[in-house]
Structure 1
Amino acid sequence: MRVAVVGGGAVGVTAATEAAEAGADVVLYERSDLAGGSTGRAAGICYDAYAEDVDAAVAAEALSRFRELGVLTECPYVWYAREGDDSKAAAVREQVPRMEAHGRDVSLVDPDELGERYPQLRTDDLAVAAIAHRAGHVDPTEYVQAMAERALAAGVGVRTEREVSLAGPTTVDASDETVEFDVVLVAAGPATKGLVGEVGVEIPLKAYRAQALVTEPVRATLPMAYDASRECYWRPRDGGLLVGDGTREADPDDWDPEADAAFEASALERLRDATTLDPDVDRSWAGLCTATPDRDPLLGEVADGLHVATGWHGHGLMRAPALGARAAELLLGGEGIDAFDPDRFDGDEEFDVVEGMTFDEE
């Protein structure tokens, strides 16, 4: 089977590798460098702390694959709500038993005990906190490079710096060639909507701009964390902390990859409010994420022989090993995930963007 994968991020490279290792003849097209788009700007936080069974199983498989590849740095993941934030505190308390029922190694943790374990974490005003013990973080570029080595060894034809379009559902038009394939997977992040639109396929996908910074090195031992009340997250990176928050709908063809000064000030303020640290910014950036109406991805066939893998809500990298492998199975005639089937939508739905690094409140 001749397979084309459009998009050289974490999901696309994984799908191309898995399809080739299963015996397909695969060509991977990427318009810049591998991991040159959204993947390269990802936070790299990875956990399996999901309350829904499908999400929990996918995340657990992804973590297992990260560990097998040797790219996961183990680090607990903590999330919490503050006093006075009753709805989010109730949501945390409701989530944990459901996660435990799905076999996830998570638990509620007493805020005072959390503070004793991590002295630089302010816990005096926490109403409730939870911890995922078997979590970690991944360098996005390192993961893609590791998968690219496997891809090349499996015979994948990697075409970087190659802008492509679709001349048909399974026809890829590159600058120097037009090639017919048996199946095509478009895993091109925000560009996926425009690419499949060229052959008359509509998908309900929006792009949003997310920002992050890395602080200067700090002397601290902290977990990865999500402050649900302040809507801010962080993880250790390069001796400092990577800090991110928020969403803003964006035009994927006209957006600013530089972080705003206002974001930097706000993110540092939230970090100082949550910890005893007072670092400066080392570097910062913005990236694009993709959203769908129900916050579940679009993974599957949208026209005869044409598949998509997109709509990650900021969770693409952390689930890439599992969902990239499932995308490859689908290309070769395997089973999909019903909850992620693009057919659940008409394609023209209107919806508001909701960030991925959050949770549903009851």
Structure 2
Amino acid sequence: MTDTRVAVVGGGAVGVTAAHDLALAGADVTLFERGDLGSGSSGRAAGVLYDAYAEDVDAALGARALERFRRLSGTNGFVFEECPYVLLARTGDDDRAEAVRDAAERMRVHDRPVETLSGAELGERFPTLRTDDVAVAAVASNAGWTDPASYVSAVAELARDAGVEIRTDSEVAVTTTPPGVAVADEAPVTRRYEAVVVAAGAHTKRVLADAGVAVPLKPYRVQALVSRADYDGPMWYDASAGVYARPHPDGLLAGDGTVPVEADPDEWERDADDWFVDDVTGTLRDRAGHDPDVARAWAGLCTATPDGDPLLGEVAPGVFVAAGWQGHGFMRAPATGEAVAAQVLGAETATGIEQFTPDRFDGDETFAIREGMTVETDGRENGTDSRDNGTD
């Protein structure tokens, strides 16, 4: 499909990756971003990266994403920092403890390097953590963290080198018959394309709705903070407390603070709530002996779907969507961008990715928002991202 004209709507991690991959395959690509690159969910993501998933497709996407993150490290200012990831449940929290054990076993079935440790064994491995109240922990060694904004910047530079035209401060309306975009400052002119990819994060639902396409997506707030106090330990998620943490150049980054209420993607509170800061501060002191010196605390937006899985595929002839990652958007962005680019080009995609096809829904489903980073008592471990505070 050399010289196929493609518009990508959204300049976050998924959008710049898809644009880059499409251009390398010979497509003529223009990327439209309503603000600055990475100014949406990707710019507010936590940057926690791992492939320790219990579900086969999730594990495959996570592994491919980590492969690409590592390959990019050292390019255009992007760095992947190796760091183990600890998932733990507390004594007395029997359902979550059993879920952690089950999830770790299923991760190993998918050849993920994950160990199951007792609290005492975890303490020996990571003495910076308090572990006397830990019933069980799963430790994933194939993991790390990064600055999400640096990924967007690095891949955008590669995309430009590959011939992508990147237009920031360019809000667009999408059309479906035929595929096209109308740029706000060029109205009423509509640019026609062979394909349009909508990877607009929390704005995806509105962008597609204006084009007459209904998708079941709900944006919701998640929260994170950065502490200037020193931290020298692994990444961890205390499933019993619902709090995660990772090293940060300034000290430590921690979050979840999910607010399970649909948010307006244009009018929402960007600062973190006081209750979130108080709760996370207590958990950091309790779990890691870390007395936070909060440098900043913020909120970002994730997007939820009825089943917690993303929407990835064609929603109208020549119009594709990539959204709804429930807080895992940045973590899997390299694999997601690659997959949607392949779909546009009619190429083979990752095995099992078809289960995320948008047509599994009618688009008008009623559903409750669930926390993206959690351990389900049915054994499914959903994970974190997007700062990834959780954001996409």
Deviations 1:223-282 (A, max 9, x none): 111100000001111231111013212222320111122211111111112121212211
Higher alpha-carbon deviation: 14-23 or 93-102:
93-102
Which residue of 1 is the match for residue 222 of structure 2? Answer: 210
289, 301, 318: which one aligns with 1:288:
301
Higher alpha-carbon deviation: 253-262 or 121-130:
253-262
Which residue of 1 is the match for residue 291 of structure 2? Answer: 278
Deviations 1:14-67 (A, max 9, x none): 000000000000000001111011000000000011011110011001001000
* 1:118-267 superposed matches below 5 A: 118-168=126-176, 170-174=179-183, 175-176=185-186, 177-218=189-230, 220-248=231-259, 249=261, 250-267=263-280
Deviations 1:87-107 (A, max 9, x none): 100101111111111110111
Higher alpha-carbon deviation: 298-307 or 348-357:
348-357
SS in structure 2 of the partner of residue 265 of structure 1: helix
SS in structure 2 of the partner of residue 318 of structure 1: coil
The one-letter code sitting in structure 2 at the alignment partner of 1:279 is P
Contact 1:120 1:277 in 2 (8 A): no
324, 343, 347: which one aligns with 2:359:
343
Deviation at 1:119? 2.0
Deviation at 1:166? 1.7
Within 2, Cα distance between the matches of 1:100 and 1:4?
A: 39
SS in structure 2 of the partner of residue 316 of structure 1: coil
Give every structure 1 segment of 4 or more consecutive aligned residues whose post-TM-superposition deviation is greater than 4 Å. Answer: none
SS in structure 2 of the partner of residue 55 of structure 1: helix
The one-letter code sitting in structure 2 at the alignment partner of 1:272 is R
Which residue of 1 is the match for residue 373 of structure 2? Answer: 357
Deviations 1:118-168 (A, max 9, x none): 222110011111100010002111111110111001100100011111244
87, 95, 99: which one aligns with 1:87:
95
Which residue of 2 is the match for residue 20 of structure 1? Answer: 23
Deviation at 1:180? 0.5
The one-letter code sitting in structure 2 at the alignment partner of 1:239 is D
Within 2, Cα distance between the matches of 1:262 and 1:96?
A: 32
SS in structure 1 of the partner of residue 321 of structure 2: strand
SS in structure 1 of the partner of residue 163 of structure 2: coil
Within 2, Cα distance between the matches of 1:51 and 1:197?
A: 33
SS in structure 2 of the partner of residue 349 of structure 1: coil
| 1:100 equivalenced with 2:82 (yes/no) | no
Within 2, Cα distance between the matches of 1:198 and 1:357?
A: 31
Within 2, Cα distance between the matches of 1:361 and 1:110?
A: 19
Contact 2:226 2:250 in 1 (8 A): no
Deviation at 1:112? 1.3
- Identify unmatched segments of 5+ residues in structure 1: none
Deviations 1:273-297 (A, max 9, x none): 2121212211111111101011110
Deviations 1:299-345 (A, max 9, x none): 00001111100001110111001110001001111245121110111
Within 2, Cα distance between the matches of 1:298 and 1:167?
A: 19
Within 2, Cα distance between the matches of 1:144 and 1:311?
A: 19
Within 2, Cα distance between the matches of 1:57 and 1:293?
A: 22
The one-letter code sitting in structure 1 at the alignment partner of 2:128 is Q
Percent identical pairs in the alignment equals 57
Within 2, Cα distance between the matches of 1:192 and 1:156?
A: 21
Contact 1:297 1:340 in 2 (8 A): yes
Which residue of 2 is the match for residue 75 of structure 1? Answer: 83
Within 1, Cα distance between the matches of 2:257 and 2:296?
A: 18
RMSD across aligned positions (CA): 1.1
| 1:10 equivalenced with 2:13 (yes/no) | yes
- Identify unmatched segments of 5+ residues in structure 2: 74-78, 379-392
Check 1:160–1:292 CA distance in 2 against 1; reply closer, same or farther (3 A cut): same
SS in structure 2 of the partner of residue 107 of structure 1: strand
Deviation at 1:359? 2.6
The one-letter code sitting in structure 2 at the alignment partner of 1:213 is L
Contact 1:208 1:288 in 2 (8 A): yes
Which residue of 1 is the match for residue 333 of structure 2? Answer: 320
The one-letter code sitting in structure 2 at the alignment partner of 1:251 is D
Within 2, Cα distance between the matches of 1:307 and 1:335?
A: 16
Which residue of 1 is the match for residue 387 of structure 2? Answer: none
Within 1, Cα distance between the matches of 2:286 and 2:202?
A: 34
Which residue of 1 is the match for residue 53 of structure 2? Answer: 50
Within 2, Cα distance between the matches of 1:128 and 1:168?
A: 51
290, 309, 312: which one aligns with 1:299:
312
The one-letter code sitting in structure 2 at the alignment partner of 1:64 is E
SS in structure 2 of the partner of residue 293 of structure 1: coil
Question: TM-score, normalised to structure 2's length?
Answer: 0.90
Within 1, Cα distance between the matches of 2:89 and 2:331?
A: 23
Deviation at 1:110? 2.5
Contact 1:246 1:355 in 2 (8 A): no
SS in structure 2 of the partner of residue 317 of structure 1: coil
Within 2, Cα distance between the matches of 1:89 and 1:114?
A: 14
The one-letter code sitting in structure 2 at the alignment partner of 1:245 is D
Within 2, Cα distance between the matches of 1:42 and 1:292?
A: 19
